[in-house]
Amino acid sequence: MKQKCYQGMKFRPYIDNARIHARIAELAKVITADFADKKPLFVCVLNGAAPFAVDLFRACEDIDAELTFIRLKSYEGTGSTGVVKQVMGLGENLENRHVILVEDIIDTGNTMVKLLSQLRALNPASISIATLLFKPEALQHLELKPDFVGFEIPKKFIIGYGLDIDGLARNLNDIYILDEE
């Protein structure tokens, strides 16, 4: 694996695709056991979670499950609240469904907290959180506890396997970390 360069910044290899897939297989084993007979609905948060959500969903082939996609619309708030996020594109009825919310990364947790409150209002039977990456040191909502975590990582900027820098690098098959040297 070579170094990658975006916007004059260097990124070095961090988690390779084989390790990502080995971890996904482990998570799928737990999800398969926990959700047998519950017909969970995987809800992928676009765009970043797409590769992870699809690979995780496919790794759960031994249970009945459904997959859908939502997108968060961000816009600048008028006051100090900053960016407000609104769910777009959820066609499914969540009532009495077991939802597995699939994210690429939980950083401050702001996105996930807002998303959870919007989805809870739709009366699902349960909501679980699966995130490929988790930065515990960056978390601002200590009540937020992801159920399925691929990798806990330090508070550093990473790209690849869905994670972007200004829209680019999502197509990298491995995960890279910003080289701060």
Q: Which residues are catalytic?
A: 107
Candidate residues 130, 158, 172, 175; the one interacting with ligand IMP per rule CB under 6 A: 158
Which lies closer to ligand IMP via its Cβ, residue 17 or residue 111? 111
Give the span between the Cα atoms of 127 and 180, in whole angstroms: 37
CB of residue 18 to ligand IMP, shortest distance in Å: 21
The SS3 of residue 100 is: strand
Residue 109 touches which member of ligand IMP, Mg ion, none, C-beta under 5-8 Å by kind? ligand IMP
User: Considering beta carbons, is residue 40 or 48 the nearer one to ligand IMP?
Assistant: 48
Structure-block tokens of residue 109 = 């947790």
Specify the residue, 6 or 157, whose C-beta has the smaller distance to ligand IMP. 157
Query: Is 118 a binder of ligand IMP (CB under 6 A)?
Result: no
Sign of CA pseudo-dihedral 31, 156, 44, 21? negative
Please, are residues 8 and 181 in contact by the beta-carbon 8 Å criterion?
no
Answer yes or no whether residue 150 interacts with Mg ion by CB under 5 A.
no
Sheet holding 126-134, edge to edge: 83-88, 66-76, 41-46, 98-106, 126-134, 148-152
Instruction: Enumerate binding residues for Mg ion (CB under 5 A).
Output: 48, 104
Instruction: Enumerate binding residues for ligand IMP (CB under 6 A).
Output: 48, 104-112, 157-159, 163
